Structure 1
Amino acid sequence: MNAVLRETATIAPLSAQGLHHAYGRETVIAGIDLALEPGSVLGLIGRNGAGKSTLIRAMVGLLEPSEGKAFVFGEPALRLSDAAKGRLAYVAQQPEALAWLTSEQMLDYFGRFYPRWDNRFAKSMLERWQIPAKRLLAKLSPGERQRVELIRALASQPDLLVLDEPAAALDPVARRELLREVAIRAGESGTTVLFSTHIVSDLERVASDIAFMHEGRLILHCPVDDTKERFMRLWLPPRLSAAAPEIALSHRQHGDGSISLVIERDANGQWPQQATLPGARVDPLGLEDLFVEIAE
């Protein structure tokens, strides 16, 4: 591999450095640093209002952040070249563009801008998802509109696919088909994927990495497979509550005086010393349990 190819391979398809954004006095994202590895599928998870959509819009150049920078294929997100735009596909949570066109017309229009547009795929997916090709987008249901947008994104055969709550308006069958397409493209074509969701089962099906957002901050970013080994729930009875470690991902005080915390292994793979105290209990956490513990 020559130097140019090595450099291209190591550039993060999507990254953010010190992103801050506020609407008036309300801070929405605060100090986000994030980079996607080429070919990874990153699930961005958080409660509604955590700042996921604002972060995504800032990272793809649709919103100018109050502070910080974002890059797409190494280019400033706010000044993307046509070549970079042709490698990126983005689907918003609530698609509203070009509502005066039919599904067929919209896909034909967008297909002219993408050098690798797969027209056969677009037509077959309209049929497979039973979307009326001649009906105006404005006349489609929210779920149908979302499907058309997903077809548009996938048919462009992007190197970077960014989906903001892609399953929000989809029924369970359509959601599973979408996740299957994402997995296929990531696995076979090396497409890098970022998708936000609050549906934990979606992450477990396709994500290689996970990022937790809470109140505008990124509080966790790691491979999905690491979560079960890296995090535990530590329960301390009332007599040990004063010994609770100062650093924890979550901290709950219960009515009986006991405390439960989400703890993390240190760099040497060891749990905090408090986990070994007589009377302390350490419980494993599934991905959904981890999300609930952090988000509440």
Structure 2
Amino acid sequence: MNAMLRDEPAAAPLSAKGLHHAYEGAHVLSGVDLALEPGSVLGLIGRNGAGKSTLIRAMVGLLEPTEGKAFVFGEPALRMPDRVKARLSYVAQQPEALSWLTATQMLDYVGRFYPRWDARFADDLVKRWQIPAKRLLAKLSPGERQRVELIRALASQPDLLVLDEPAAALDPVARRELLREVALRAGESGTTVLFSTHIVSDLERVASDIAFLHDGRMILHCPVDETKERFMRLWLPGRLAAAAPETALSHRKHADGSVSLVVERDGRGQWPEASRLQGARIDPLGLEDLFVEIAE
């Protein structure tokens, strides 16, 4: 095995180590580590501008990071061999490629590059999603264009499916149909999925794991089911504000001097010591509340 890869788990479908990136001196990624387990559905969440698209592009080899490494099925993302590319499908947030072709022409052309291309599935989904198959891609609405790209990605029957804000241009019905297809692929075929979103309800429907990117840093990565047990809101009255733990994921000071924080259990399953002070209060957090508390 190449020495460059000795410390990289070969089984990881997609992983990143120490990714840094900057645009014109502004840091977009700051030391991001992330690895997907085979067969998992990882929802990458964060506010607009958090660095989600930059991270995804670096992880699939479309962008060379300032520092760090990314791997796809154990191969360097920037030098993926064809056998690895055939196992990966990626959909950008704003698809633009091959816009001079019709939907039918594009799917027929692209399908020739994938050994497991499911033409019948592609045709059926074009009809079910009511895509104007003979219209140029450039003439389609953003939602229709995104649906065509999603059909292309799903019909290739990938082992790894990477979607950057796949529901951004979709109406609620189309978004639910997409999530159903993603769940089916993951459940029936064992496809590993990474999708970015800021729509928390999408995560709750299909994701097995969540990764939270905030200001270019990965501040949490865990199974979705663990979030309610692992994170809580700690409220401290003004007289206890000085006892607020420095390790809190968020820290908000209120007009009356009280503070509210998002805190995490430690390795022994204990909440921070401040939570046991008289007058402190611990409140449960749903996934959307957790997102809002950290992102604001």
TM category (shorter chain) comes to over 0.9
Checking the alignment, whether the CA contact within 8 Å between 2:10 and 2:74 is kept in structure 1 is: no
Partner of 2:271: 271
CA-atom RMSD, angstroms?
A: 1.0
Residues paired across the two proteins, number: 289
Q: 2:84 aligned with 1:84, yes or no?
A: yes
Q: Given residue 208 of structure 2, which amino acid in structure 1 is its aligned partner?
A: S
After superposition, give the CA deviation of every residue in 1:71-120 in whole Å (9 maximum; x if it has no partner): 00000000001000000000000000111000000000000000000000
Partner of 1:26: 26
After superposition, give the CA deviation of every residue in 1:109-137 in whole Å (9 maximum; x if it has no partner): 00000000000000000100101111100
TM-score by length of 1: 0.96
C-alpha distance in structure 2 between counterparts of 1:40 and 1:251, whole Å: 31
User: Could you list the runs of 5+ residues in structure 2 that have no partner in the other structure?
Assistant: 1-8
Q: 1:244, CA displacement in angstroms?
A: 1.1
Partner of 1:70: 70
After superposition, give the CA deviation of every residue in 1:204-255 in whole Å (9 maximum; x if it has no partner): 0000000000111100000000000000000001111111112100001111
C-alpha distance in structure 2 between counterparts of 1:11 and 1:215, whole Å: 29
After superposition, give the CA deviation of every residue in 1:239-274 in whole Å (9 maximum; x if it has no partner): 111111121000011110000000110111111111
Q: Given residue 141 of structure 2, which amino acid in structure 1 is its aligned partner?
A: S
C-alpha distance in structure 2 between counterparts of 1:135 and 1:196, whole Å: 29
3-state secondary structure, aligned to 1:125: helix
3-state secondary structure, aligned to 1:61: coil
3-state secondary structure, aligned to 1:101: coil
Q: Given residue 114 of structure 1, which amino acid in structure 2 is its aligned partner?
A: Y
Partner of 1:225: 225
Partner of 1:179: 179
C-alpha distance in structure 1 between counterparts of 2:131 and 2:243, whole Å: 59
TM-score by length of 2: 0.96
Residues 239-278 of structure 1 aligned to structure 2 (within 5 Å): 239-278=239-278
Q: Given residue 52 of structure 1, which amino acid in structure 2 is its aligned partner?
A: K
C-alpha distance in structure 1 between counterparts of 2:178 and 2:246, whole Å: 42
User: Could you list the runs of 5+ residues in structure 1 that have no partner in the other structure?
Assistant: 1-8
Query: Which stretches of structure 1, 4 residues or more, deviate above 4 A after TM superposition?
Result: none
